[in-house]
Each structure stands twice: as structure tokens, then as C-alpha cells.
Amino acid sequence: MRKKFIALLMTIAMVLSVSVSAYAEETLPAATRGDLVAALLNAADAYNSGISKEAVIQGYEDGDLREKDPARKVEALIMLSRAFGKLPQPVGNDLRTGTFGVKFSDVPAWAKEDIDKLAQAGVLAGKSDGTLGVNDTITIQEFQTVIARIWALKGSHLNDDFYESINKGWLNKSTIPAGEIMGGGFSELSLQNDEKITKIIEELTGKQFAEGTKEQKLADFYTAALDTDNRNKQGIEPLQKYVASIDGAKTLDELVQADLVMEKELGLSMLFRFTIMGDAKNSSENALYYTGLTTGLDKNSYVTEDAKAKEAYVQYITKILVLTGEKEPVAKARAEKVYEMEKSLASVSLQPHEQGDVNKYYNPYTIGQFDDLHKEVDMKQALESMKVGNADKIIVFDVKLAQKGAEFMTESNLEVLKAYSKAQLLTATGGLLSDEFRDAADDFAATLYGVSGKKTDQELALTMIKSAMGGYLEQMFAEKHFSPEAKQDVEQMAEKLIATYEKRIQALDWMTETTKAKAIKKLDTMIVKIGYPDKWDTTLDKVAIKTYDQGGSLFSNFFSVNTAAVDKLKAKLGKPVDRTEWVTSVYTVNAFYNPLNNEITFPAGILQAPFYDINAKPEENYGAIGMVIGHEISHAFDNNGAAYDENGNAKNWWTEEDFKKFKEKNQELIEFYDRIEIVPGVLNNGLLTLSENVADLGGLAASLQVVSEMSKPDYKGYFESNAEMWRFTTTKEFAALLSTSDVHSANKIRVNRTIVNFPEFYEAYGIKPGDGMFVAPEDRVSIW
């Protein structure tokens, strides 16, 4: 009920990969042959020492080089091939994200050898019609994009591509574990944490414990999660009565009542999705939020009518509907209707970058207004049934989505609502049912996101017990794997970074003293949570966990926990917010800023190498976890967080002139991080990623200043630790998805495009004009 909305509002601090500038190419002039030669002599010198002009541009039969003529793309690429010479065989990340297997239909015989070399290196991307466009002109920016792909492939010169050079060995050897979608520093640490948690659990399994103890509940939950035979024997039986109630609904009211029964017994509603959290305008009190109907694909896939995504999704929904006994033709027709319904929802929903904007998501409705929105549904009765009828208002997260959802809540749409409800239920619970449901989900992920292989039963069981039984596991994990010394050390780092941030705000030349005072007050009241909570959640104490032999099941255990958690959440409605509570697990490899509490949270899960090591050099720790701490502090002052005061209330604390300057600086960042290539043909979106780019820039600035105040600071240790922290690999398909839906820039961009704004980077590595990493001082950006 709460997880998705929290994720939208919380400005999270991690994830993604790549770099290269390419602004407004359609308005730029075609490059001449001479332009390209000049660019190559500089760009390729470090890789092919002593390369000469004559070796790059060989001219025409009459000896004329025609340097002032516009260059055709085929000429440009051949010169590129000559300049860089032999290229490495793509492996690891380069093999995963490059473009391969393309046979261009328009390459002349005389150019084939060079073009084939570049194609085999994965650095060429043609047109949708199968041509390369050999006779097209090319801009210098387009040419630089291909050069940057080769710099990345080579990865041997940090002055051109710092991220690739520092991480090249790891990137070349990188793999993605079976059933996973990515690998990297975060993923590797998550796997290490999983190994520690597995050891904790395995020490409990096979032993007898008194009933009701946390040890008994953990051991029996894990035993049930691993009991494949009984789970497969049950098939869809645990869900059968709910499926039957959806299928059997003859009226809209019957479907609504079936949904409310599921909400009561499972803590799941397909039609009415609410959460409870601090009121953004009165953050000390919990309020009811309506998040609206959800969709199975990201917004962009629907809006762009992505044919591959549609086919994969319809096929997946068809498969799981067939598993409930539907005939395939009927199931496919219903899946098509579900897709069309979700497409209409997605078409009006907020953009990803708007979801953290309080001016977009804070839309209070009276109970009467919300009831009136749903013409044929008694929402007052539904709210009473869900035990949230005592709410004095409902904050609608996405007005247009809510309106569109309400349009579907009519008798005339009964059949598509039934299909939608059933599909949503099956996707939400399929992992707890037979292997056939898991296989269908795996096939969907493989088709759409390029996921290969499958997780083992043990890995899946671990995922489930972490999700459901965290209240107990977290305590054990913290006791074994996070020392009081480490907690104290990180707390001191956070204090120093907040103090440094205060100094930086005091030194700003674009902000008045009035606004500075308010910003510093926000820093002074910021809550810092390190490692683990001061008190542990006891919700699981009231939950009974049983193995299959004892009459339980993975399904029943999971939803016993889920309903207890939902009931606890509902009990908070209208009550004061407990600001000591944590919204993430202790073993999570991530960090968070919550604008409603004005708090930063760093779980024990991320406070380990390579992000933090109590025995590492201070500069290395500040380049990794120090930058992350600064990043989360910066979220209090990004384009979303800046709308909240020191108490977490959405309230303007800016002077009009200061806020105007702030928006201008935000616009500079949008342009600075925009249209940078992630993988061939996929570009970073500066507007989508603005909030995280503000945080990255601020986090690096604050942590780097702490390092600069040390005696003989090791800047190389700082910058290299930062680059290593962000190492990352994923499939090309998933990288493309993230570019349209994730508010974080790709990880490589988070390194390369951020560090170039600081003189310490140039001094440490001798970066000079002409290097790929060089940005002229007047073009660099800063806010905090």
C-alpha cells in the first residue's frame, strides 16, 4: 500500500551508466573534411601516437584533399577507422551495450573493410531502414559521439573518459548474475549482504525453536519458501477464491465488493490504491493519499506505442490468465483490453520527473468530492470497509490519472475492469504460486529487458524472506555486520558534511542573506539516521508463521505479514508522525532523503566497502559514502526538496529574486546533462534527471571541500573512489528503459559529467583543452 508512493516521493540516491555530448544536432552545420581531420588528430593521438594528417585523409585521385567540402558520413567513418587503427574486441559491458549484427545495405565496396571494423567494434548504429546513410552529411557533434564510443571501448586514457579508464578492468570482466537485470557496485554489495543474510538464516534452519519466537518464524518462513513441491502442488489454489470472485462478478458493485474482501484478507486492492504518510502541508500528522490505478509497463512504453513492449506484455498477461483456466484466444483478447486500458491511464499520468513535485502531487479532495469523482461507486462505503473512513480528506497524487481511473469505474466497463483486476492480482502474487507463474514472469523479463537465466529457488526464497521478515532479519544483520565504531564514524562524517554545506551556503554569491538563513535553518534541523533505527519494529510479533506441514504456505505466510503491516499503517491515519521510524530495510544498499521529515537515512547495508570502510583513507571514504551523504543533503535543496521548509512542510521560504536565480541555475543543469549518450542511440534526459543531478553536483562539491581542507589531500584517491563506486553494467534494453523512466542520470554520466565542474579534478590529472574530459571554465555549472 505504501512502498510505491514512498519510492516516488523519496529522492533516492543511486543507480545506472555512460557519456558524450550531443546538443541540438539538427541545428548545427555539416562538418567539413578538414574539420574532421583536425578533430581526429587531437582525439586519436593518445591511442595512435604520431598519427599524421596524410594517414587520415588521403584525398582524391587528383591529390586534392578538398578540406573545405562537407564530409559524407562514409568519409568521416573511414577517416575515424584510419586514425584509431586496430580496435579492441568488445567484451563484458562493451559487448552488452554495443550495436552488433547489423549489415548495412548501402556501404560501397571500397569502404567495406573499414566500416566492418567499426561495426564489429559495436560503435555504429544505422537507420531503421537498414542503411548507414553513407552519403548523409555529419555534424562535428555527431562525429564526436562516435569518437567517444571508441574512447570508451579503448578505456585507456582517463583524460578522455575518466569513468571507463578507472573501471575498464572491471567493466571488461563484468557479468550480470542469472535472473538479474544489472551488475555493479550496488549489486555486488547487495549480493554480499545476501550471503550474510543467508548465513544467518541457514544457522536457524533444521533446528527446533519455541513457537512464536523470531527464530521459529524465520526458520519456518524460509522452509515454506523453499518447499517447491508443495507450492507447485497447490498451484493457484491459494488464490482461487479471489480469482473466482472477480470472474463471477455480474455487476460493478460485486466486483468492488470482491476487491474489498481481497483488501481485507490480503492487504491488496486492485481498484483502490491508497497510502498513509505525513501530510505535505502539515508534515507532523499522517494523511491519506490516493495513488490511483497502476500499470504493468512504464509510461513511455505506452505513450510511444512501443510494439515490442506491447507484444511482450500482452503475451505475459495472456499466459497468466491461461494458468487460471481461461482459453488462450479469450485470454489474449482480454490481455489486449487490459493493455488498452492501461495505455489510456498512462497517457494522462504525471511524467516521472513531475512525481516528486509537491505542486503536482498535492491535491486535497474532501471525502464528498472524492466520492463524487466515482459516479457509480460508493467510495464512502469503500473507505469504511478499508478502515480509513476516518480521514478528513484524501490527497490525490495524480489528478488526471484519478479522473481517468474513475471513468473506468462504471458498469459499462465491467468486463475490462474484471480483466484488469485479475491480471493485476496475478502479477502481484504470481511469485508465491506455482513455478508456471514464475516462468511466465521470467519470460517477460527476458523478452523485454534482456534478462538471461533464472534465479535459483534459494535466491527467490531469500528475496521473499527479506521482504516479509525484515523486522527480525534487520536486527540480526545490524548486530553482526555494523559496529558501533562504524556508526559513530559515519555520524561524524555526516556532521562534518552538514557543517561544510552550511559554509558553502554562506559563501554563495547568488543568494540573499534572508534566504541563506532559512536554508541554514533547514540544515540545522535535518534528522540524520545512520545504520539502524533506535527501536525495532515489532509488527511480526503478532504474526503466526507455519510450514506446509503445519497447514501454512508461502502464500499464507507472506500475506499474514502483509495484512499486519497494512493494518499498522492504517492505524497511523490522523495520528502524529513518528519521525524515528525508518522507511527502508537496514540491509538495503541505498540512501535516502525524505522531504516530509527533512531527514537523511543511510542503512548499514550501504555502509560497507566499497562505499565505506572504516580502515580506508579518509579521501577514499569521502569520494564514495561522503559524496552519497552530501548527495542526500543536497536533495533538501534540489528542485523538489527546495519546496519544503525545515519541518518538512511544503512552504515557500525563498525570496522571489532568489528563487528566480535558483530556477536559472536549474536550467543550466538541465542543458549541461542533456542529450549525453548512454548507449548507442540512447540519450540522457536533463529534465528527467534534474533533481538527481543537483544532488550529485552538490554532494561532490561538499565532500570535495571536506577533502580540500585536509593536510596534503589525495585528490586522486577521492576521484577514483568515486568512479569505482558508480561502476555499473546492464542490458542495452534496460538502459534504454531507464533513460525514459529513471530520475537518475546513467552512472557514467554521474561520474564524468559531474567531476568536470571542479578545478581539483583538472589539477590532479592534468586535464587540458582538447581532452575529452575538458570543459571550459565558463561552461561549468554549480548551484550549491
Share of the chain above pLDDT 70, in %: 96
* 458 and 313 part of one domain: yes
Tell me whether residue 560 is in a domain: no
| Residue 6 reports pLDDT greater than 60 | no
d(CA 317, CA 261): 23
Of 101 and 240, more confident: 240
* pLDDT for residue 27: 66
Tell me whether residue 236 is in a domain: yes
| Residue 626 reports pLDDT greater than 50 | yes
* pLDDT for residue 59: 67
Q: What is the mean pLDDT of residues 519-545?
A: 97
Tell me whether residue 251 is in a domain: yes
Q: What is the mean pLDDT of residues 756-773?
A: 98
Tell me the sheet residues that pair with 395: 289, 364
Say whether 365 sits in a helix, a strand or coil.
strand
> Is there a contact between 697 and 752 (Cβ–Cβ < 8 Å)?
no
Q: What are the strands, taking DSSP E only, across 234-337?
A: 274-279, 282-290
| Residue 751 reports pLDDT greater than 90 | yes
d(CA 73, CA 85): 18
d(CA 743, CA 688): 5
| Residue 4 reports pLDDT greater than 70 | no
Say whether 710 sits in a helix, a strand or coil.
coil
* pLDDT for residue 19: 31
d(CA 591, CA 699): 13
| Residue 25 reports pLDDT greater than 60 | no
> Is there a contact between 489 and 600 (Cβ–Cβ < 8 Å)?
no
> Is there a contact between 4 and 291 (Cβ–Cβ < 8 Å)?
yes
H-assigned helices in 178-292: 185-202, 214-226, 228-234, 240-247, 252-266
Tell me whether residue 494 is in a domain: no
Q: Which amino acid is present at 524?
A: D
| Residue 7 reports pLDDT greater than 80 | no
168: left (phi over 0), alpha (psi -120 to 50) or beta: alpha
d(CA 559, CA 543): 10
| Residue 280 reports pLDDT greater than 70 | yes
pLDDT in tens, 452-471: 999 999 999 999 999 999 99
Position 50 confidence tier, pLDDT thresholds 50, 70, 90? confident
Position 348 confidence tier, pLDDT thresholds 50, 70, 90? very high
* 132 and 254 part of one domain: no
Task: Classify residue 316 by burial, with Cβ atoms within 10 Å: 0-12, 13-18, 19+.
Answer: buried
d(CA 458, CA 516): 53
Position 58 confidence tier, pLDDT thresholds 50, 70, 90? confident
* pLDDT for residue 436: 98
* 133 and 236 part of one domain: no
Indicate the helix (H) or strand (E) that contains 730. strand 728-730
Find cell 482461487 and name the residue: 240
Q: Residue 52 sits in which domain range? A: 31-138
* 118 and 247 part of one domain: no
Q: What is the mean pLDDT of residues 522-540?
A: 97
Say whether 528 sits in a helix, a strand or coil.
strand
pLDDT in tens, 119-174: 999 999 888 899 999 999 999 999 999 999 999 999 999 999 999 999 999 999 99
Q: What is the DSSP secondary structure assignment for residue 32, as one 8-state letter?
A: B
This prediction has a pTM of 0.94
610 cis-preceded (ω within 30 degrees of 0)? yes
Label residues 113-125 b or e (16+ Cβ within 10 Å = b): ebbebbbebbbbb
Boundary of a domain, candidates 82, 106, 138: 138
| Residue 8 reports pLDDT greater than 80 | no
Of 23 and 674, more confident: 674
* pLDDT for residue 128: 86
Q: What is the mean pLDDT of residues 532-546?
A: 96
Tell me whether residue 353 is in a domain: yes
Cα–Cα–Cα angle for 523, 528, 530, rounded to 5 degrees: 155
pLDDT in tens, 300-318: 999 999 999 999 999 999 9
d(CA 546, CA 561): 12
Residues 6+ apart with CB under 8 A from 730: 16, 17, 96, 97, 176, 181, 182, 183, 738
> Is there a contact between 310 and 339 (Cβ–Cβ < 8 Å)?
yes
d(CA 618, CA 706): 10
Boundary of a domain, candidates 106, 138, 170: 138
Tell me whether residue 546 is in a domain: no
d(CA 245, CA 266): 14
Q: What is the mean pLDDT of residues 670-678?
A: 97
Tell me the sheet residues that pair with 32: 70
Could you tell me which of 641, 569, 568, 572 has the C-alpha nearest to residue 600? 641
* pLDDT for residue 24: 39
Of 103 and 258, more confident: 258
> Is there a contact between 7 and 352 (Cβ–Cβ < 8 Å)?
no
Position 370 confidence tier, pLDDT thresholds 50, 70, 90? very high
Position 3 confidence tier, pLDDT thresholds 50, 70, 90? very low
* 268 and 390 part of one domain: yes
Find cell 542533456 and name the residue: 674
Residues 6+ apart with CB under 8 A from 565: 267, 539
Tell me whether residue 130 is in a domain: yes
Q: What is the DSSP secondary structure assignment for residue 682, as one 8-state letter?
A: E
Find cell 594528417 and name the residue: 53
* pLDDT for residue 62: 66
Q: What is the mean pLDDT of residues 110-127?
A: 94
Q: Count other Cβ atoms within 10 Å, centred on residue 450.
A: 18
Position 67 confidence tier, pLDDT thresholds 50, 70, 90? confident
* pLDDT for residue 78: 96
Q: How big is the chain, counted in residues? A: 784
> Is there a contact between 745 and 684 (Cβ–Cβ < 8 Å)?
yes
In the predicted model, what is the mean pLDDT of the chain? Answer: 94
Tell me whether residue 160 is in a domain: no
Phi, psi of 526 (to 5 degrees): -65, 130
* pLDDT for residue 11: 31
* 117 and 255 part of one domain: no
Share of the chain above pLDDT 90, in %: 92
pLDDT in tens, 284-297: 999 999 999 999 99
Tell me the CATH number at 427.
Answer: 1.10.1380.10
Boundary of a domain, candidates 468, 501, 534: 468
Q: What is the mean pLDDT of residues 29-50?
A: 93
Q: How many separate domains does the chain show?
A: 2
